[in-house]
Amino acid sequence: MYSNKNNLEVLFEDNHLVIVNKKSGDIVQGDKTGDKPLSDVVKEYIKEKYNKPGDVFLGVVHRLDRPTSGIIIFARTSKALERLNKMLRDRVISKTYWAVIKNNPKKPTDTLIHFLKKNPKNNKSTVFKKEAQGNKKAILHYTTLKNLENYSLLEIDLEIMFFIFSSKISFFFGTGFRTNKELCSWFLIFSLYVPTKPPTVLKLYWSLLLDFEE
């Protein structure tokens, strides 16, 4: 089920921003599919909750791929959007992912470096082990949280990201996901700076809706 104004999971909101849990299958912004984006759902939520006349401003701070669930930040003012964009550029905002892969990685913890080239015709990326002209470098660090007989749960931190995330995981570990719901941006931390208030550190955790048991 995709997000709508009635089932929207709001994790945090104030006058400057609203943070929600993106469901697997939601698109953050409108695309050629014509499907209703999460940004429009959040606008409807704000408009109805606060009885706002006219159009509602909502700035998209970052995105997650359609199959990925997890935390998404939206800015409620242009000033907040400007500041949050700067925080992302300066890596003040840190993001952590969980992923379930088939089979177990050879090393419980590792850093992976690959090079990707995107095909604009089909909007897909090809992964290469060596750098070549037109490729983009991608770096991730992973730690294995739990191993089962056929699957592993990984915690992943992205250092440089130029890829469709699920494709990268599949390539790196030689496997794919069991379903399209098993990648989740589950942890986010950053400081909020409001001119009239002291700095506030906001920590959000959102776990995978996944029964990862023996």
**Residue 62, domain CATH:** 3.30.2350.10
* pLDDT tens by residue, 138-162: 888 889 988 888 888 888 887 765 4
What average pLDDT does the chain have? 75
Cβ-count burial 16-32 (b if 16+ within 10 Å, e if not): bbbbbbbbbebbbeeee
pLDDT at 58: 97
Is residue 2 included in any domain, yes or no? no
| 142 part of a folded domain | yes
58 inside domain: yes
Query: Does residue 166 sit within a domain?
Result: yes
For the stretch 195-205, pLDDT in tens is 444 444 444 44
Distance separating alpha carbons of residues 214 and 194, to the nearest angstrom: 46
| pTM check: above 0.75 | no
Does residue 1 sit within a domain?
A: no
Contact indicator for 159, 100 with CB cutoff of 8 Å: no
Q: Specify if 4 maps to a domain.
A: no
Distance CA 158, CA 145 (A): 16
Q: pLDDT in tens for each of the 214 residues of the chain? A: 789 999 999 988 989 999 898 988 899 998 888 899 999 999 999 999 999 999 999 999 988 888 888 889 999 999 999 988 988 888 777 777 888 777 788 899 999 888 888 777 776 777 778 888 878 888 888 899 888 888 888 888 877 654 333 333 433 433 333 333 345 554 444 444 444 444 444 444 444 333 444 4
Number of separate domains in the chain = 1
Host domain of residue 110: 9-205
